[in-house]
Chains A and B, each alone.
Chain A
């Protein structure tokens, strides 16, 4: 690992000639400055770079999927190939029981998997951050109640809850997003609350209060920026979790049968008897895609954590 001396991004401490900068320009320059510093640290983490590259590939594939695959390629009744053809030049990963190219299915499935992963993550990280900051900032009885609820949700088996959800709301992508979002937030909430408590004990919080800042000011201007690194790292880790969860739920048949996702493809493979008849090309590609995407997000998450959390950085 290239542990060179921390370099200062150039161009901000530049003498008294910086007079005509407006506050907004200042803010931008500052943001660029801290982004540069972050990138310098991230670059040193090779696993993180690999994760980032993998992520970029997956996102690119998901975005370009409509250009590569036409609706006819995914048609159930009018599939291009024969059922369960082994890999060949025409179908590099073989075909499924309807005769669709597995490669096409995996490529198309990335769209749903990534979308659900991101949306569910957005929801659960948002909820977790809100609960964590509010519980950490206000303290008192309300905070205790909030944290008891958090602990309770934390030990609830997410899958059982998700099945119950699907029973109430009907199966579908939205159900999956909600189920993940409403069960996965407690980890974030606990982390954020711990960090909030640490930040709230700092003297600059007293200074902000003495300047007249209220709860909103303290929470948004001081606590939030300080918990953001943790939230960011947590987000990337949660995306990986959400994608796995989505696949699991789709595999269990809780997903929308009309949308293609990796978990859904796996479920179809099982229903088609791929496990017993050794049709590995039907099972392996979607499974590998899930593993790879989760790995990429986890690598990024760990790298971000390492750069932003000084305590972890020292240990490295």
Chain B
């Protein structure tokens, strides 16, 4: 968390300052205009689960992706690993677009790992822990002599100690947190360069959670691991992430360094998320009203306008932008920018927002 590049509250969110020379490493994994739509069954419309996302994960960087339930975080994570085909846009790894042939995907998935959201379902009930962790090794290298040592090491790193004690356990004999650590060990055993983790620590208690997060940070520092961590927990984002991307209804609506986004949020949605934290410094709580977002019916204009507290309180009206909020899409945030960006007409006015 050293990337504090001048707290300039009036940063404009134009896309002019991409790729600051010398400032940032090249992106390892990125989403370019990524769009994922699901065809609805019956009379349900098309769900725009991910609706135009630019996102860069640079080498040795941990990005937190936050947002409320159903905003498309899991879909984005799955698409980044090639489990879902984007309807539009593309995923690139080390600058090359992902190829969806079996061989290319396999090679890619040796270097990038996904930790799924649901730890209970992620393990085959008929495989013992040893097999579950060794699965990746066997897929890529076959049965090797040092398999056992690697499995034990990965389990120990994920906090299951002594590892031998867990080798023969079936998933149903483990607690939810232990299962999650088995899943994490299964990803670590391949020594990935990028990890996409979907709520990796949601089911863990504070001490284990701290351990896993410390592990992530250590891997980043020692091996240059990059990670995209999906989380509901802004506190967690604060503790481990270098940058934060806030997602709303399939789009990244605000991005920047942790300090910028979490201490001086510019998008009203981020402000609302932060204001309901118990330790939040924000004076008054903003409880979001209106219906929860539905990706089959993305509102026109700014997609947040129906629930926006700035618009509801009339502040937007006073600033003379209420019509733009209702009728004009603030656009998609570019990736690869080091500045603090928010897809919001009000924030774009350059005023200190949310006071």
Contacts of A21 in B (CB 8 A): 164, 167
Give chain A interface residues in 171-219, CB to chain B under 8 Å.
Answer: 202-204, 206-215, 217
Q: Are B168 and A33 in contact (CB under 8 A)?
A: yes
Give residues of chain B (135-153) contacting chain A, Cβ–Cβ below 8 Å: 135-136, 139-140, 143, 147-148
Among B130, B134, B147: residue with most chain A CB under 10 A: B130
The contact of B121 among A18, A204, A222, by CB within 8 Å, is A204
Q: Judging by beta carbons under 8 Å apart, are A207 and B168 in contact?
A: no
Q: Is the CB of A18 within 8 A of B167?
A: yes
- Cβ–Cβ contact A213 & B118, under 8 A: no
Q: What is the chain A residue whose CB lies nearest that of B78?
A: A206
A201: nearest residue on chain B (CB-CB)? B121
A160 nearest CB across to chain B (Å): 41
Q: Does A15 contact B (CB under 8 A)?
A: yes
The residue in chain A whose Cβ has the minimal distance to the Cβ of B189 is A211
> A278 an interface residue at 8 Å Cβ cutoff?
no
- A222 cross-chain contacts in B, Cβ below 8 A: 124
Please determine whether B122 and A203 come into contact, CB atoms closer than 8 angstroms. Answer: yes
Interface residues of A in 22-55 (CB under 8 A from B): 22-23, 26, 29-30, 33
Tally A-B pairs: CB < 8 A: 87
Identity of the chain A residue whose Cβ is nearest the Cβ of B137 in the assembled complex: A211
A140 interface residue (CB < 8 Å to B):
no
Contact of A213 among B123, B139, B187, B190 (CB under 8 A): B139
Q: Let me know if B322 is at the binding interface, CB within 8 A.
A: no
Residues of B97-129 contacting chain A, CB below 8 A: 102, 105-107, 109-110, 113-114, 116, 118, 121-124, 126, 128
Q: How far is the CA of A18 from the CA of B164 in the complex (A)?
A: 7
In the complex where A13-B168, A29-B168, A226-B126 touch, is A206 in contact with B116 (Cβ < 8 A)? yes
User: Which residues of chain A are near B164, meaning CB under 8 Å?
Assistant: 16, 18-19, 21
Interface residue? B218 (CB, 8 A)? no
Given A29-B168, A30-B168, A203-B116, the answer on whether A208 and B130 have CB atoms closer than 8 Å is no
Determine the residue in chain B with the shortest Cβ distance to A29: B168
Pick the contact of B116: A15, A29, A210 (CB < 8 A).
A210
Asked whether A23 lies within 8 Å of B130 as measured between CB atoms, the reply is yes
Which chain B residue has the least Cβ–Cβ distance from A228? B126
Q: B81 on the interface (CB 8 Å rule)?
A: yes
Tell me the chain B residues, 244-292 only, with Cβ under 8 Å from chain A. Answer: none
Provide the bound-state CA to CA distance between A12 and B129, in Å: 13
Chain A min CB distance to B203 (Å): 14
B109 CB contacts on chain A under 8 angstroms: 209-212
Task: Name, among B143, B167, B187, the residue most crowded by chain A CB atoms within 10 Å (CB to CB).
Answer: B167
A37 to chain B, nearest CB (A): 10
User: How far is it, in angstroms, between the C-alpha of A15 and the C-alpha of B165 when the chains are bound?
Assistant: 6
For A26, the chain B residues whose CB sits under 8 A away are 128, 130, 167-168
Q: Decide yes or no whether B186 CB sits under 8 A from chain A.
A: yes
In the complex, the answer to whether B168 meets A217 with C-beta atoms within 8 Å is no
Q: How large is the interface on A (under 10, 10 to 19, 20 to 34, 35 or more residues)?
A: 20 to 34
Pick from B107, B116, B134: contact of A207, CB below 8 A. B116
Determine how close the nearest CB of chain A comes to the CB of B132; give it in whole angstroms.
8
The proximity string for B residues 78-94 relative to A, scoring 1 for CB distances below 8 Å and 0 otherwise, is 10010100000000000
B residues less than 8 Å from A18 (CB atoms): 164-165, 167-168
Closest chain B residue, CB of each to CB of A229:
B126
Given A12-B168, A16-B164, A203-B122, is A214 in contact with B136 using a C-beta cutoff of 8 Å? Answer: no
B106 to chain A, nearest CB (A): 4
Across the interface, A212 reaches (CB within 8 A) one of B118, B136, B169, namely B136
C-alpha spacing A133/B110, complex, angstroms:
26
A38–chain B nearest beta-carbon distance, Å:
12
A21 to B164, CA, bound (A): 9
Complex contacts, A202 vs chain B, CB 8 Å: 121, 124
Q: How far is the CA of A202 from the CA of B164 in the complex (A)?
A: 27
With beta carbons under 8 angstroms apart, the residue of A15, A207, A212, A215 that contacts B110 is: A212
Whether a CB of chain B sits under 8 angstroms from the CB of A170 is no
On whether the beta carbons of A207 and B169 are closer than 8 Å, the reply is no
Enumerate chain A residues within 8 angstroms of B116, measured Cβ to Cβ. Answer: 203, 206-207, 210
A225 at interface, CB cutoff 8 A = yes
Q: A13-B169, A26-B130 are in contact. List 14 more A-B contacts (CB 8 A).
A: A16-B165, A18-B168, A23-B143, A23-B147, A26-B128, A202-B121, A202-B124, A204-B121, A204-B124, A207-B116, A208-B124, A208-B135, A211-B139, A225-B126
* Closest 7 A/B residue pairs (Cβ): A203-B121, A212-B109, A210-B114, A211-B136, A212-B106, A204-B124, A16-B162
- A interface residue numbers (CB < 8 A to B): 12-13, 15-16, 18-19, 21-23, 26, 29-30, 33, 202-204, 206-215, 217, 221-222, 225-226
Offer 20 A-B interface pairs, CB within 8 angstroms, sorted by A. A12-B168, A15-B165, A16-B164, A18-B167, A19-B164, A21-B164, A26-B128, A30-B168, A33-B168, A203-B116, A204-B123, A206-B78, A206-B83, A207-B122, A208-B135, A210-B81, A210-B113, A210-B116, A212-B110, A213-B139
B contact residues vs A (CB 8 Å cutoff): 78, 81, 83, 102, 105-107, 109-110, 113-114, 116, 118, 121-124, 126, 128, 130, 134-136, 139-140, 143, 147-148, 162, 164-165, 167-169, 183, 186-187, 190
